[in-house]
Amino acid sequence: FYRGQLERLTSTLREHFNRPFSRQMLSDSVKLGQCIDAAIGDLYDLRGQDRLDVGNSDFYRIVRAGEYLHPDDYLPLLKQVCEKTGTAQPTKTPVVLSGVLPSPPAFLDLLDSLNLRVAADDLLNASRRLQVSTHLLENPFETLTDRYFQLPVCPTRISTVDQRIDRLLTLVESTRAVGVIFTVLPFCDPELFDLPPLVAALKKRGIRTLVVEAGLNRQLSGQVAVRVEAFAEMIGSGKA
């Protein structure tokens, strides 16, 4: 079904814009997308190992640049950033960020100022869209279909709570994070339904959690800033 929808969409776009289309063109574009995914995956690996000398704000600015840059311009940028290796000094306290968006920007700036390093994330518009694979099938529509169904767990894809708990625990363990920060959007039911059992499961395992509300166009409030500062102090961040 999913593959059929992709094929119908391609046909409709070709007729609407009166542009030529070939499977080779699509295969080349899919391969470029895989190279971009692999480069972003390298960025995530370096950050998880504390080998990427890039702050939280800059990291997500770079990751989200793919939302507006042409792929031919985006891939060289990612490769350039991957060369900025080296542990930041002083070493920052690792945390995991979960939610939909890494926003607002002032929130990421606050984490930087408190010596909190987002070592991994479970964000819908970031790592949940990332599927690093170099496997290219003969039919590009098959490749795109496989990519979608191999994406990380997400409540918008009917993943179970247990799957999400396992993912968060894996992220915490692999990066040695000492806490998880949930940034929730108002009225985002898929995220809000999962939130209580996720927090309970993490607390049961002794992992500190913080839940803050972050609207799409909302500035960082003083109340949220104070709560984040208190959380940083609780988990032992050096600058809180």
pLDDT, one tens digit per residue, over 106-125 is 899 999 999 999 999 999 99
Contact yes or no for 146/135 (Cβ under 8 A): yes
> Would you say residue 221 has pLDDT above 90?
no
pLDDT over 90 (residue 53): no
Q: Residue 240's pLDDT is what?
A: 40
The yes-or-no verdict on residue 238 having pLDDT over 60 is no
Q: What is the mean pLDDT of the chain?
A: 89
CA–CA distance from 218 to each of 104, 187, 195 (Å)? 7, 14, 21
3-state secondary structure of 119: strand
pLDDT of residue 43 exceeding 60, the answer is yes
Q: What is the mean pLDDT of residues 176-191?
A: 92
27 pLDDT above the threshold of 80: yes
Q: How far is CA 193 from CA 101, 155, 169, in A?
A: 17, 9, 19
User: Can you give the pLDDT at residue 137?
Assistant: 75
Closest CA to 77 of 92, 64, 86: 64
